[in-house]
Amino acid sequence: QVQVQESGGGLVQAGGSLRLSCAVSGRTFSSTAMGWFRQAPGKVRKFVASINWSGGTTFYGDNVKGRFTISRDNAKNTVYLQMNSLKPDDTAVYYCAARSGRVATTDRANYDYWGQGTQVTVSS
């Protein structure tokens, strides 16, 4: 079955940067859209960014526009999330997800396969 694995989380000071990676196996990566979501303790999982099958179309949540960048390398079956100018409010578990389709969406219900998450903690 399709497997999704995030990496790159950690502890960083406010204003710093992190780059998350997400490796996908078990499916033709170039035929699927990918997304990043995050969930803080006691809160619902929220949309962060998504990218279509080719990388030509991207979407971002309002709280991360101008600071985060999603990209993909289809030759490596990997999607990335570059996070700059991090704030304490960015602290959450970050999840990578794949959907059975080429079109990027912002709804977590559209995504079929999920990683276990990677913790990002931003200190002030």
At 65-83, the pLDDT tens digits run 999 999 999 999 999 999 9
Which sign, positive or negative, has the C-alpha torsion 24, 107, 45, 58? positive
10 CB contacts (<8 Å, ≥6 apart)? 18, 119, 120, 121
Between CA 47 and CA 95 the distance in angstroms is: 10
| pLDDT per position as a tens digit, 2-59 | 899 999 999 999 999 999 999 999 877 888 999 999 999 999 999 999 999 999 999 9
Given this model, what pLDDT does residue 30 score?
Answer: 81
Task: Report the distance separating Cα 73 and Cα 64, nearest Å.
Answer: 21
